[in-house]
Amino acid sequence: MSENLFNVSVSPHIKAKETVSTIMRDVLIALVPAGLAGIYFFGFSAALIMITAVASAMLSEFLFNKITKRPNTLWNLSAAVTGLLIAYNVPTTLPLWMVAVGSAFAIIVVKCFFGGLGQNIVNPALAARAFLLAAYPTAMTTWTMDAVTKATPLGILKGGSGILPSTMDVFIGNIPGCIGEVSAIALLIGGAYLLYRKVITWHIPATYIGTVFVLTTVLGRDGFFTGNGLYEILIGGLMLGAIFMATDYTTTPMTQKGQIIFGVGCGFLTTLIRLYGGYAEGVSYSILIMNLLVPMIDKWTSPRVFGGAK
């Protein structure tokens, strides 16, 4: 009889080959198309911001762990992912020192202060974007393309003046905006890769994007059924947020039912802010608000423990 036949070990008994580092590696790979599109449309300044954001995030995590005598966690690549997402959420005109401050805030305040990876209550990259927008509103809302200051499609829709780019231009990314959010096709390619690798599921991205599509079409900016839902889902940070940030493991519900509720909630809040709020964009704040509701959603949707009381 084999010595290992009655081997006893603690849970989990079902193990997968995926690790934190392999998952984060896949996310980085999926972010490459959007990064290349950003560099193509905005030039070398976009690459410089990406390098600064990632370097600041990784350095901040290394120094924090060193000072607090915690284990080095740079190997899991989560800091690199956070830094790259921050770079994708800022304009190319943002000074590099502000980019570095945003990454440091995300890692130290939002992530490390709460215990590190897996214990933060909101998405670090989105919290950093909100922080930068509150601290440096002018720098965060100045958009240039071909060395000319221009309004984003969302800004034009909100302000009611200006010529809107064509649907094809917003699909490929030939528009002003944040580095990593302008090219919908590049983000969809990255999302398809994550679905193929089973890093994410369809539940949050599909319900989030679908909710915005339906509500903006029905409610419209000029009355019922005057909206262009397809145009609305291609502009702003919706694709970036729905695919790469609303799907963050730590800050989203555990169950499929909960994820659908989360996606619908994000879509509803985004539409509410875009159509009726003071900001042109509502993706960041919508996801952050829903992040805070995740414990409640998990409580509502978690299945009953087998053998437990009703």
Rounded Cα distance, 268 and 273, in Å: 9
The CB density around residue 44, as the number of other CB atoms within 10 Å, is: 9
What pLDDT, on a 0 to 100 scale, did the predictor assign at position 9? 62
Radius of gyration of the chain (CA): 20
pLDDT at 145: 74
Give the residue-averaged pLDDT of 111-135: 93
Closest CA to 295 of 129, 125, 122, 111: 122
Both tokens assigned to 202: 């369809």
Amino acid of residue 123: N
Tell whether the model's pLDDT for residue 15 goes beyond 70: no
pLDDT at 1: 46
Considering only CA atoms, which of 297, 305, 291, 232 is closest in space to residue 260?
297
Whether omega before 33 lies within 30 degrees of 0, making that bond cis, reads: no
Rounded to an integer, what distance in angstroms lies between the CA atom of residue 178 and that of residue 133?
A: 12
Amino acid present at 146? D
- What's the pLDDT at 3? 54
The secondary structure of residue 244, as a DSSP letter, is: I
How many Å apart are CA 86 and CA 83, to the nearest integer? 5
pTM above 0.85?
yes
Structure confidence at residue 133 (pLDDT):
94
Is the CATH number 1.10.3430 carried by domain 20-299?
yes
Judge contact between 106 and 127, C-beta under 8 A.
yes
Q: Which residue has the tokens 């802010």?
A: 273
Q: Which two tokens stand for residue 194?
A: 């994550």
Tell me which amino acid residue 228 is. Answer: N
Query: Token pair of 13, please?
Result: 């008994």
pLDDT at 308: 55
C-alpha span between 33 and 38 (Å, rounded)? 9
- pLDDT, one tens digit per residue, over 176-199 is 999 999 999 999 999 999 999 999
Rounded to 5°, the CA angle 102-104-106 comes to: 70
Structural domain boundaries of the chain?
20-299
Beta-bridge partners for 149:
144
